[in-house]
Amino acid sequence: MSSPQILLGQGVKSSMSTPSRSIIAGLFLLVLIFPSGPGRTDPTERKLVIEHGQDIRSTAYVKANIAKMDAIPFDGTAINVISPAGLNLGYRTFNRARFAPGDYAQAILDLRSVKPKRLTHNFVMMYASPDATAPGWFDPDWSNVAYNAACLAKVAKQGSNCDGLMFDIESYSGISPWTYGGKYGMPASWSSGHTFDEMKAAVRQRGQGFMEAINAAYPNITILMLHGPSVVTHFTSSTVNSDTPNGLLISFVDGMCEAADASTTIVDLHEYSYGYRTMAQYATVRPRILVTTKALSAVPEKFEAHIRVGMAIWLNEGSVWDSVDFSKNYYSPEQFRQCLSYALECTDKYVWVYSETPVGWWYYSVPPAYLKALGAPTRTISQNNDRQHAVHRLTSSH
């Protein structure tokens, strides 16, 4: 995971300025005036806190350790699918080779055998991290990527206690499928002979096929995107062009939204909210996703129908952690509790809590004070359309 100041581990700093003081102040007042959740949530649902850290566990590990994991007050966790050969299938989703049923059959059995009482909203990991032989957007073998994604969706669906997929669009292979050119862009062979507009059209079409394959395996799925389409707005708020970092992600998500079945939900977890400390900061995420990012979409109605607002918190921001002297940590237990409360207030449903080594998985390394803070904030959703409408009025007037 990257810090909120650096995009996707690529050393590309955001050129967008921070929101004006008047917008931030206005959004903060909206949170106080309209304290209930967005109008399109189900009032019978709870808001959910999902664990995803550097120490993501396999289905086999979850099966063997569910009692200890289930004692921690998370609602779900991210899970890796590991093949019998020891390969992480999530990391290979965007590669050329198709998964075989034997690669993931045991993972389904592992999840079916798990009977958690608390961790009932889990997510199977999927990464956009293509290797050097991966198919480009115009390569007919790109259909293998959609097939692989469907296999992971099948694990989530045919296993148990999984809401869907957690999609990390950050490339750890050094090949970004979302950037047209430049030092951190896709291989030249992927875009050779094609204009940026042609590339956008191809990526949008691939997004459609990707979503169709996933929905065939798991209808009405929830997909959590760590960096969702709003990541592009940290580099432009008006026009996506060939120089925009990760600019093609907008087209891909447009395609996903166009092909998604009626109840499929795509959650932008807004990784840039790592390290936020105030309600005013969290309150800026909703208009960034539902107003600024939506304005970049070619299919705004479809975007609005499927995109939801999420939040992220990095417990040991900057990978600094002291389990004895809490003053050395980015968040004290009380600060963590307060920021989690802010994030739960501002999200549509999901809050993602991230951690890196040396935190590890929570049951063996996190002091009781932080566990108490994790379980303290209320997670009940209440409905109020006025808040979302007021946010739209405020942001559209600037």
Q: How many Cβ atoms are within 10 Å of 382's Cβ, its own excluded?
A: 10
Residue 1 lies in a domain: no
Mean pLDDT of all residues in 290-312: 98
Q: Mind listing the pLDDT tens digit for each residue in 160-194? A: 999 999 999 998 888 889 999 766 689 989 988 99
pLDDT-wise least confident of 71-85, 169-183, 193-207, 290-304: 169-183
Residue 225 lies in a domain: yes
Q: Please tell me the predicted confidence (pLDDT) of residue 318.
A: 87
pLDDT at 37 over 60: no
Q: Please tell me the predicted confidence (pLDDT) of residue 42.
A: 53
Percentage with pLDDT > 90 across the chain: 73
What is the distance between the alpha carbons of residues 272 and 269, in angstroms, rounded to a whole number?
9
Q: How many CA atoms lie within 13 A of 280 on its CB side?
A: 10
Percentage with pLDDT > 70 across the chain: 83
pLDDT at 368 over 90: yes
Q: Please tell me the predicted confidence (pLDDT) of residue 365.
A: 77
pLDDT-wise least confident of 212-221, 288-297, 359-368: 359-368
Q: Please tell me the predicted confidence (pLDDT) of residue 123.
A: 98
Q: Please tell me the predicted confidence (pLDDT) of residue 381.
A: 64
Amino acid identity of residue 322, one-letter, is: D
175 versus 348: the higher-pLDDT residue is 348
Q: Mind listing the pLDDT tens digit for each residue in 99-141? A: 999 999 999 999 999 999 999 999 999 999 999 999 999 999 9
pLDDT at 272 over 70: yes
What is the distance between the alpha carbons of residues 97 and 118, in angstroms, rounded to a whole number?
36
Full residue range of the structural domain in which residue 278 is found: 6-396
pLDDT-wise least confident of 45-49, 61-65, 75-79, 277-281: 45-49
Mean pLDDT of all residues in 330-354: 97
Looking at the structure of the chain, the number of domains it has is 1
CATH of residue 90's domain is 3.20.20
pLDDT band for 52, please (50, 70, 90 cuts): very high
Residue 209 lies in a domain: yes
Q: Please tell me the predicted confidence (pLDDT) of residue 105.
A: 98
How does DSSP assign 66-86, residue by residue?
Answer: HHHHHTSS-SEEEEE-B-TTS
Across the chain, what does the average pLDDT equal? 87
pLDDT at 390 over 90: no
351 CB burial (10 A radius; 0-12, 13-18, 19+): buried
Question: Which regions of 233-348 does DSSP assign to beta strands (E)?
Answer: 265-268, 307-309, 311-314
Report the predicted TM-score, pTM, of the whole model to 2 decimal places. Answer: 0.88
Nearest to 370 by CA among 315, 313, 301: 315
pLDDT band for 36, please (50, 70, 90 cuts): very low
Q: Please tell me the predicted confidence (pLDDT) of residue 362.
A: 81
307-309 and 265-268 strand pairing: parallel
Residue 298 lies in a domain: yes
Q: Mind listing the pLDDT tens digit for each residue in 6-29? A: 335 443 334 333 444 444 445 444
Q: Are 314 and 276 in contact (CB under 8 A)?
A: no
What is the distance between the alpha carbons of residues 177 and 244, in angstroms, rounded to a whole number?
13
